[in-house]
Amino acid sequence: DAKTTQPPSMDCAEGRAANLPCNHSTISGNEYVYWYRQIHSQGPQYIIHGLKNNETNEMASLIITEDRKSSTLILPHATLRDTAVYYCIVRGMEYGNKLVFGAGTILRVKS
Amino acid sequence: NAGVMQNPRHLVRRRGQEARLRCSPVKGHSHVYWYRQLPEEGLKFMVYLQKENIIDESGMPKERFSAEFPKEGPSILRIQQVVRGDSAAYFCASSPPTVPDTQYFGPGTRLTVL
């Protein structure tokens, strides 16, 4: 699976959009971009995934560049409860592939 | 719909005892994964199972650790003769038999070895 690079930490004001970047320059054509988050002491929570098109669900939007070498997770209106570690993971599409978690980005939402 | 259930949520064992961690996947999910998170460290894959089969155990320590996912009942992660270094949070995830199979995590079992 391709490696990802994320900033170690980011701050965001409550109510504003949080934009979390991820670089995955070695991604291959059959690999998806997944985002998970882990709120302190809880299990990782699935947020969103995409292959090459932008995706949106009730939690977030995922913007993937045309060359697929990077992506951005957008939380449109961050709240204090969005404070967590956010993981960007690249994963092959065959089922059964494990998730390889890096250090992620610590997002601190501040009032 | 119930999510992934894990029990117990907290488990305390003395060195040398056995620890049994249970995971009930989301209804309809046939794949189970176990991950471990040591204190102040990241999540690491341990094992991937389908019903009655271990598919990938590349992340499991070679000794004392075993996992099963029987035809009926929950998946079990078993740690024999626990040591202090086994103290960690153990997370189970399940996924449906689709492509790609998104994994959904349980709340974890926090094991403390005294």
Cβ neighbours of A95 in B, within 8 Å? 31, 95, 97-101
* Shortest Cα distance, chain B CAs vs residue A11, angstroms: 21
pLDDT > 70 fraction of chain B, expressed in percent and rounded: 98
Condensed to tens digits (0 to 9), the pLDDT of residues A12-29 reads: 999 999 999 999 999 988
Q: Using an 8 Å Cβ cutoff, are B25 and B94 in contact?
A: yes
Tell me, yes or no, if B61 comes closer than 8 A to chain A by beta carbon.
no
Nearest to B113 by CA among B36, B10, B6, B8: B10
Q: Round to whole Å and give the CA distance between B11 and B87.
A: 10
Task: Determine how many CB atoms are found less than 10 A away from the CB of residue A54.
Answer: 13
Tell me, yes or no, if B94 comes closer than 8 A to chain A by beta carbon.
no
Cβ A95–B97 below 8 Å, yes or no? yes
* Shortest Cα distance, chain A CAs vs residue B106, angstroms: 6
Q: Round to whole Å and give the CA distance between A89 and A52.
A: 14
More confident residue, B107 or B30: B107
Q: Choose the closest CB to B48 out of A44, A96, A102.
A: A96
**pLDDT(A30) > 90:** no
Write down the pLDDT at residue B1. 53
Write down the pLDDT at residue B39. 87
Condensed to tens digits (0 to 9), the pLDDT of residues B84-102 reads: 999 999 999 999 888 777 8
Condensed to tens digits (0 to 9), the pLDDT of residues A58-99 reads: 999 999 999 999 999 999 999 999 999 999 999 887 767 889
Q: Choose the closest CB to B31 out of A43, A96, A103.
A: A96
Tell me, yes or no, if A100 comes closer than 8 A to chain B by beta carbon.
yes
Q: Give the N- to C-terminal CA distance of chain B in Å, as an integer.
A: 36
Q: What is the DSSP letter of A97?
A: P
Q: Is A100 helix (H, G, I), strand (E, B) or coil?
A: coil
The gap from C-alpha A101 to its chain's centroid, in whole angstroms, comes to 11
* Shortest Cα distance, chain B CAs vs residue A64, angstroms: 18
Cβ A99–B99 below 8 Å, yes or no? no
Tell me, yes or no, if A43 comes closer than 8 A to chain B by beta carbon.
yes
Strands A18-23 and A31-38: unpaired
Write down the pLDDT at residue A55. 96
Write down the pLDDT at residue A95. 61
